[in-house]
Structure 1
Amino acid sequence: MLEVLKQIDYSPFLLTFKLAIITTLFLFLIGLPIAYFLAYSKFRLKSAIEAAVALPLVLPPSVLGFYLLLITSKNGFLGKLWQEYFGHQLAFHFEGIVLASIIFSFPFMVHPLTAGFRSINKSLIEASYTLGKSKLETVFRVILPNMKPAILTGITLSFAHTIGEFGVVLMVGGSIEGETKVVSIAIYDAVEKIDYTTAHVYSAILFGISFFVLLVVYMLNKRFEVR
């Protein structure tokens, strides 16, 4: 068994974690203001925005991946711009699967954050305004510290979901060694080659990591609830 583990190529795991970390960071930075808007805004078309945010939950990965492939290829709008400034198209490159992952995992960050914003007692916000704090100060000093479980849930779900992505990443990035070949695709390739030993090892490690990540978030959320 040890010999098998030594022979396994672990580079797909490094690429997967790199993708998950970068995607989660961007999702948090982008998702936080959008979640705030969805929680507190009275904009008439807010329901349409909420539907657009939730769309990746119901769309098949192949559909979303197909349209992203068209957009990020050398003939697509984003692909052309990227080619012009960076010398290569977005599709079949790491940056392309980052974009695809951000879009595909978007609701997993925005929904928990929106629920967290809505759970804050309005009296705390009003008290902050009464003390002369601005909206920005209220967000960072009052609201965010009181919605730690929602932030943790959004970060964890986004990270875990990105780790397990397959369809969208395969459509946009293919299976390029060291560039787009994440663990889920490495498992698929191993099964296609009838290399079940490698597939078993990759799957078992990925299963263990996913379970551990979810276990940690549930344990931490219970601690926050007790407090």
Structure 2
Amino acid sequence: MLDIVWLTLKLAATTTVALLIIATPLAWWLARSRGWWVEAVAAVVALPIVLPPTVLGFYLLLAMGPDSPLMAPLQALGVRTLAFTFEGLVIGSIVYSLPFAVQPLRNAFEAMGPRPMEAAATLGAGPFDAFFSVAAPLARPGFVVAAVLAFAHTLGEFGVVLMIGGGVPGETEVLSIEMFRLVEALEWEKAHLLAGGLVIFAFVTVLGLLVFDRRTRRVGR
């Protein structure tokens, strides 16, 4: 069980770091761009929220399979498929949890407004300097919420993990897969312990976000 917990935490942490790197420029572009295509891109990013996880997992499985044209560059390097591998799980988790990282950051950047960046520009700051010295600190609450949501969402995912990971021991067998296996094997006591732990984690996560949001609003006033 400890190996499964470690693998799950490793997956959630890796996905969270990757998501913050990917979601930050994407959320910044969505927050500051204008045009009909902006919301079209936002809709594509948000698709995992409404799509059944098994549908998303099915298309990811095809995309990472040996017959996928997307795998051609990697096959030249000796990588035949990313399905049923930890790396494949990371990719699937990034796609599945992307809206939970992008939306809080987009909200934070939009709430900031254009004035701070305009003021930084008048003082001679370049775009990158202004972003890291002005925008990023102002959007800190958004980064915190995005990181927590991405981590927690990855920790609890099942459908996508099952489709592209399959529960390979030591490689893709995470807590949600173990929960399914315990119930399927009628190991109720172990299933209760695992489920109870996940419920407590979920409650603490939501409570922490609510308290953080409340304190942030007070400081903002």
2:136 alignment partner in structure 1: 144
Which amino acid in 2 is paired with 1:175? Answer: G
Which amino acid in 1 is paired with 2:104? Answer: P
When residues 35 and 192 of structure 1 are mapped into structure 2, their CA distance, relative to the original with a 3 A threshold, is same
1:5 alignment partner in structure 2: none
2:50 alignment partner in structure 1: 58
Please state if 1:106 is matched with 2:77: no
- Superposed, 1:42-121 pairs within 5 Å as 42-121=34-113
Answer yes or no: is the 8 Å Cα contact 1:53–1:106 preserved in 2.
yes
Q: Kindly provide the CA deviation profile for residues 93-149 of structure 1, in whole angstroms up to 9, marking residues without a partner as x.
A: 100111000001010000111111000033222211111111111111111111211
Number of residue-to-residue matches in the alignment: 219
Instruction: Indicate which of 10, 15, 24 corresponds to 2:2.
Output: 10
Instruction: Indicate which of 120, 125, 141 corresponds to 1:128.
Output: 120
RMSD value over aligned CA atoms? 1.5
**Distance in 1 separating the partners of 2:57 and 2:64:** 10
Please state if 1:205 is matched with 2:203: no
Answer yes or no: is the 8 Å Cα contact 1:73–1:80 preserved in 2.
no
Instruction: Name structure 1 gaps, 5 residues minimum.
Output: 1-8
Answer yes or no: is the 8 Å Cα contact 1:149–1:224 preserved in 2.
yes
Which amino acid in 2 is paired with 1:61? Answer: P
**Distance in 2 separating the partners of 1:39 and 1:112:** 11
Please state if 1:185 is matched with 2:177: yes
Please state if 1:176 is matched with 2:168: yes
1:24 alignment partner in structure 2: 16
**Distance in 2 separating the partners of 1:41 and 1:189:** 46
Q: What is the deviation of 1:165?
A: 0.1
Which amino acid in 2 is paired with 1:24? Answer: T
Q: Kindly provide the CA deviation profile for residues 37-69 of structure 1, in whole angstroms up to 9, marking residues without a partner as x.
A: 000012442121111111111111111111111
2:207 alignment partner in structure 1: 215
Identity %: 40
2:28 alignment partner in structure 1: 36
Answer yes or no: is the 8 Å Cα contact 1:156–1:214 preserved in 2.
no
When residues 39 and 192 of structure 1 are mapped into structure 2, their CA distance, relative to the original with a 3 A threshold, is same
TM (normalized to structure 1)?
A: 0.91
Answer yes or no: is the 8 Å Cα contact 1:83–1:90 preserved in 2.
no
**Distance in 2 separating the partners of 1:30 and 1:16:** 21
**Distance in 2 separating the partners of 1:170 and 1:82:** 23
TM (normalized to structure 2)?
A: 0.93
**Distance in 2 separating the partners of 1:224 and 1:52:** 30
- Runs of 4+ in structure 1 over 3 Å off: 78-84
SS across alignment from 1:194: coil
**Distance in 2 separating the partners of 1:208 and 1:61:** 23
Instruction: Indicate which of 213, 217, 220 corresponds to 1:225.
Output: 217
Q: What is the deviation of 1:203?
A: 0.9
